Amino acid sequence: MVPGYLLVQYFKRKNYLETGRGLCFPLVKTCVFGHEPKASDEVPLASRTEPAETTPTWQALKLLFCAAGLQVSYLTWGVLQERVMTRSYGATATSPGERFTDSQFLVLMNRVLALLVAGLCCILCKQPRHGAPMYRYSFASLSNVLSSWCQYEALKFVSFPTQVLAKASKVIPVMLMGKLVSRRSYEHWEYLTAGLISIGVSMFLLSSGPEPRSSPATTLSGLILLAGYIAFDSFTSNWQDALFAYKMSSVQMMFGVNFFSCLFTVGSLLEQGALLEGTRFMGRHSEFAAHALLLSVCSACGQLFIFYTIGQFGAAVFTIIMTLRQAFAILLSCLLYGHTVTVVGGLGVAVVFAALLLRVYARGRLKQRGKKAVPVESPVQKV
């Protein structure tokens, strides 16, 4: 915060930042300090308190709405992405056509459309006063870029079972990162249910998921990249969760994160020289442009659900939903195409449902205990 403060004082001495004059002062103040004065540079931690009129039934309906929206958006997005990356465009009787292979250009299109959608929502719909310094969004954007890079690079150096175990076990690292980033506390039963969900999803995916024909051996570099993917991914959702303490809306969060994501992605594409090539490919094939637009729409819808879910329920619940998405996709494939579910896979599903029921039961008991203990303040034991 010292360089930003010195910058503001320098401009004031040069009479560039007089109140009510020019554009420099509002821009620097928004990017460095935000609109709300803070006593320190710490991320303010506000507890996620439910409104008085909120009932458990209404909370459950909101959670189901978020889970269904995330499942539909990203299942559709996955199908469309596979189609775009494997389809030959411009194929004729004499020419086999050409395939689009630059997934990073598709990521840029997704970010740009999400930025436009969030910007329109901020303009057309009334939003709360924005108080977060803009530079804070760049941390989530950069960690998201780094987690994606580590994930795709790790696939080259780790075996299929290791990939499955890492993706299914992200819940506990997210909870531990929450203690570091936002000093959030979790009860013992939350750790227990998170562990059971990870075990159940791993059992189901390892026994029912289609293992690729060629799976590389796990190496030390692969494990390091996998650890980086889990760490950066856990930091991203927890940092976004902490930013909601500024009382912003989900579309404001979406706009800030995608603004910096667009900058980082454009810089990467320019450095590789792939931005113009992707634009030329889109100009040559209008069908690809339509498919990429539809893919970006699904991504924007998914991001709306992501930021709403994190704002309402926190990073840990969001990670549980996204972890269950992998098992749900395979279970849906088994039901649609008649694939058999093994005994171990069925046992894994049972463990997941038992963990979810235990989570609902423990949260209900905790709320009842809180209502009974209103006259006498007795804190709940946390770890």
In the prediction, which pLDDT does 297 show? 92
Contact assessment for residue 216 and residue 157, using Cβ atoms and an 8 Å cutoff: yes
Give the separation between CA 291 and CA 81, rounded to whole angstroms.
9
pLDDT tens, 208-264? Answer: 666 555 567 788 888 999 999 999 999 999 999 999 988 889 999 999 999 999 999
Could you give the CA distance from residue 243 to residue 41 in angstroms, rounded to a whole number? 13
Stated as kind and residue range, the H or E segment containing 88 is strand 88-89
Q: Which residues are CB-neighbours of 13 under 8 A, at least 6 positions away?
A: none
Q: Each residue of 140-157: b (16+ CB within 10 Å) or e? A: bbbbbbbbbbbbebbbeb
| Predicted structure pTM score | 0.74
Instruction: Give the DSSP letter string of 169-235.
Output: T-HHHHHHHHHHHS-----HHHHHHHHHHHHHHHHHHHHHS---SS-PPP-HHHHHHHHHHHHHHHH
Provide the pLDDT for residue 145.
86
Find where tokens 């303010």 sit: 44
C-alpha 312/C-alpha 60 separation (Å) is 12
Per-residue confidence (pLDDT) for residue 49, from 0 to 100 = 46
The answer to whether the CB of 104 falls within 8 A of the CB of 265 is: yes
- Give SS3 for 217: coil
Q: Which amino acid is at 154?
A: A
Give the per-residue pLDDT at 330.
Answer: 74
pLDDT of the residue at 371? 59
Residues 265, 145 contacting (CB under 8 angstroms): yes
The whole-number pLDDT of residue 373 equals 54
The tens digit of pLDDT for each residue in 70-105 reads 988 888 887 788 788 788 888 787 888 888 888 888
Q: Quickly count: other Cβ atoms within 10 Å of residue 268's Cβ.
A: 16
Would strands 88-89 and 98-99 be described as parallel, antiparallel, or unpaired?
antiparallel
Residues of the chain with pLDDT under 50: 1-2, 11, 14, 16-20, 27-28, 32, 37-47, 49-52, 374, 376-383
DSSP tag of 244: G
Query: Distance between CA atoms of 353 and 204, rounded to whole angstroms?
Result: 12
The per-residue pLDDT for 78 is 78
pLDDT the model gives residue 235: 95
Please give the pLDDT value at position 257: 93
